[in-house]
Amino acid sequence: MATPQNATTQNNVAEALNSVSFSPFHLKAMFASAMGFFTSAYDLFIIGTALVLIKSQWHLGAAEVGLVGSISLIATFVGAYVFGTLADRLGRKAIYGLEALLMTVGALLSAFAPDVTVLLIARVILGLGIGGDYPLSAVLMSEYANVKSRGRMVSLVFSAQAIGLVTGPVVALTLLAAGVNHDLAWRLMLGLGALPAAAVIYIRRTLPESPRWLARVKGDAVAASKQLASFSLGTATATVQDKLVKQPLSRYWLTLIGTAGGWFMFDYAYYGNTISTPMIMAHIAPHADVVTSTALSLMVFAIAAVPGYFLAAFTIDRVGHKTLQMLGFFVMGLMFLLIGAFPVLTESVGVFLVLYGLSYFFAEYGPNTTTFVLAAELFPVNLRTTGHGLSAGTAKVGAFLGALVFPILLHDYGLHGTLMITFFFSLAGLLLTALCLKEPSGKSLEEASGEDVVVPFRRKKPEGVTTP
């Protein structure tokens, strides 16, 4: 059992949180946050399988398929911006749980959609909730965590996406193998996404406000100390007032280019590939039915993607957050280059699955995890959800673009041309990470963001005055 901090030690809230022991509270917070990412992964990626059935039933063209598959992503962009900005101004707790409610409503409405218009509206509502979940869950977890295991805690929250990624194809295969009518099957696929989101609405509303935000943004030292003592079970105390942080966003423009730009490049490649995986499998195995192509997709996700998430979570703090992102971008880009530049490699389904699977492994053991973590570390506390929201929202523009154009590119340029384009996006992500971001591993949030550094105000010299 952890022992209380020495009463003579002069700690502020941030310092106490940086060394606080892992507690049952952290498990509760991780569960509440992780269920949002399970839901978002399930909802965003199940649409790829559902669209195979919807397209046939509603006789949708390529453009309509692309729009249905991608519209929730552009809504995610809006949700991330709006919820991220509000959480810095009003507090994390003030709006945490509302985004889960939107995800629940969006999934249920999708299941009962009578036509493509209602389905698009439902997917927009769903996307707004998913967008809000990114900055809130990431930042709350990072602000609750200690320095030693912050990367692991935040990564484990995000790794719930792996389970959602696999659950979608499992549900689809189960329904299709059972012979469920295709109209009912896709409605069940989409509607089941409401369950995990609804399950955590209450838990999220009962989580405490971030002590860091209370102390360093709102300036309420008393409330911050109470929250800190409560969720740490008395093992962490604060005896010194924290500094108020009022850093301008303009000071973090290079960081924002790195977090938002790198994430944009990654999401173009990742969401374009993932949502279009059933179509990609159809190119590789054109005679396979929907059950077989879904099974191939599940095999790639389960064997290649899932281990990557969890390996990232348990090694990120040792390897380095920025370092892991660069490694992932490099290897996944290399796999896209090999597939795109050497069409002979796709003549064998087995060889293709190995290369495609490696691209997925290093996507998870790399930028899919680290973009989420880095954006929650490199901005100051008064802009942390804003910076994360701007990054995640911009990323979802890339995801929207990928999901929208992948079906069109596959039709016009084939698999090889499409993945050559994806290679250049991976290369751009690697360069943005290397040039724009600092390594936060092993540093406190305050050190990583530089939020306590005072930038001197420089007065503009009057005209005609020279310095002697």
- Which pLDDT does position 407 carry in this prediction? 78
> If you average pLDDT over residues 207-222, what whole number do you get?
91
Give me the chain's average pLDDT, please: 87
Instruction: Write the Ramachandran bin of 22: left for phi over 0, alpha for psi from -120 to 50, otherwise beta.
Output: beta
- 1: pLDDT strictly greater than 50: no
CA dist., res. 314 & res. 303, Å (int): 18
CA dist., res. 442 & res. 438, Å (int): 12
- Which pLDDT does position 129 carry in this prediction? 94
- 216: pLDDT strictly greater than 60: yes
- 462: pLDDT strictly greater than 90: no
Confidence of residue 137 (pLDDT cuts 50, 70, 90): very high
Instruction: Report CA-CA distances (Å) from 15 to 135, 209, 384, 444.
Output: 23, 17, 18, 9
**Which of residues 367 and 161 earns the better pLDDT score?**
367
Confidence of residue 464 (pLDDT cuts 50, 70, 90): low
- The answer to whether 385 touches 135, Cβ cutoff 8 Å, is yes
- Which pLDDT does position 463 carry in this prediction? 55
**Which of residues 32 and 403 earns the better pLDDT score?**
32
Instruction: Write the Ramachandran bin of 300: left for phi over 0, alpha for psi from -120 to 50, otherwise beta.
Output: alpha
- The answer to whether 54 touches 186, Cβ cutoff 8 Å, is yes
- Which pLDDT does position 4 carry in this prediction? 46
- 315: pLDDT strictly greater than 90: yes
- Which pLDDT does position 348 carry in this prediction? 80
CA angle 154-158-163, nearest 5°? 145
Radius of gyration of the chain (CA): 23
Instruction: Report CA-CA distances (Å) from 260 to 11, 77, 213, 313.
Output: 34, 11, 23, 21
Confidence of residue 169 (pLDDT cuts 50, 70, 90): confident
Burial 230-239 (b: 16+ CB within 10 A, else e): ebbeebbbbe
- The answer to whether 266 touches 368, Cβ cutoff 8 Å, is yes
- Which pLDDT does position 7 carry in this prediction? 42
- The answer to whether 190 touches 46, Cβ cutoff 8 Å, is yes
Taking alpha carbons only, the member of 38, 236, 80, 245 closest to residue 144 is 236
Instruction: Report CA-CA distances (Å) from 231 to 7, 25, 93, 206, 415.
Output: 18, 6, 14, 12, 51
**Which of residues 381 and 235 earns the better pLDDT score?**
381
3-class state of residue 21 by DSSP: coil
Tell me the whole-structure pTM to 2 decimals: 0.86
- Which pLDDT does position 300 carry in this prediction? 77
The DSSP line for 81-111 is HHHHHHHHHH-HHHHTTHHHHHHHHHHHHHH
- Which pLDDT does position 5 carry in this prediction? 47
- The answer to whether 155 touches 369, Cβ cutoff 8 Å, is yes
Taking alpha carbons only, the member of 87, 80, 85 closest to residue 102 is 80
Rounded (to 5) percent helix, strand, coil in the chain: 75, 0, 25
- 301: pLDDT strictly greater than 50: yes
Burial class of residue 307 in the structure, from the number of CB atoms within 10 Å of its CB (0-12 exposed, 13-18 middle, 19+ buried): middle
Which residues lie below 8 Å from residue 287, measured CB to CB, with a gap of 6+? none
Confidence of residue 455 (pLDDT cuts 50, 70, 90): low
- Which pLDDT does position 2 carry in this prediction? 44
Two tokens at 414?
């084939």
- Lowest pLDDT segment from 53-67, 95-109, 209-223, 389-403: 53-67
- 275: pLDDT strictly greater than 80: no
Long-range contacts of 221-228 (CB under 8 A, 24+ apart): 221/13, 224/13, 225/13, 228/13, 228/16, 228/17, 228/20
CA dist., res. 214 & res. 199, Å (int): 27
> If you average pLDDT over residues 28-44, what whole number do you get?
88
- How many CB atoms within 10 Å of residue 6? 9
CA dist., res. 297 & res. 294, Å (int): 5
CA dist., res. 80 & res. 434, Å (int): 25
> If you average pLDDT over residues 239-263, what whole number do you get?
93
- Lowest pLDDT segment from 14-28, 164-178, 286-300, 423-437: 286-300
**Which of residues 415 and 447 earns the better pLDDT score?**
447
User: With pLDDT > 90 as the criterion, what percentage of the chain qualifies?
Assistant: 48
Confidence of residue 46 (pLDDT cuts 50, 70, 90): confident
- The answer to whether 14 touches 444, Cβ cutoff 8 Å, is yes
> If you average pLDDT over residues 218-235, what whole number do you get?
83
- The answer to whether 273 touches 402, Cβ cutoff 8 Å, is yes
Give the CATH number of domain 13-449.
1.20.1250.20
- Domain residue ranges in the chain: 13-449
CA angle 69-419-267, nearest 5°? 50
Which residue, chain included where needed, has tokens 């290679």?
A: 423
Q: How far is CA 211 from the centre of its chain?
A: 23
> If you average pLDDT over residues 43-61, what whole number do you get?
85
Give residue-wise pLDDT tens across range 356-401.
889 989 999 999 999 999 999 999 999 999 999 999 999 989 988 8
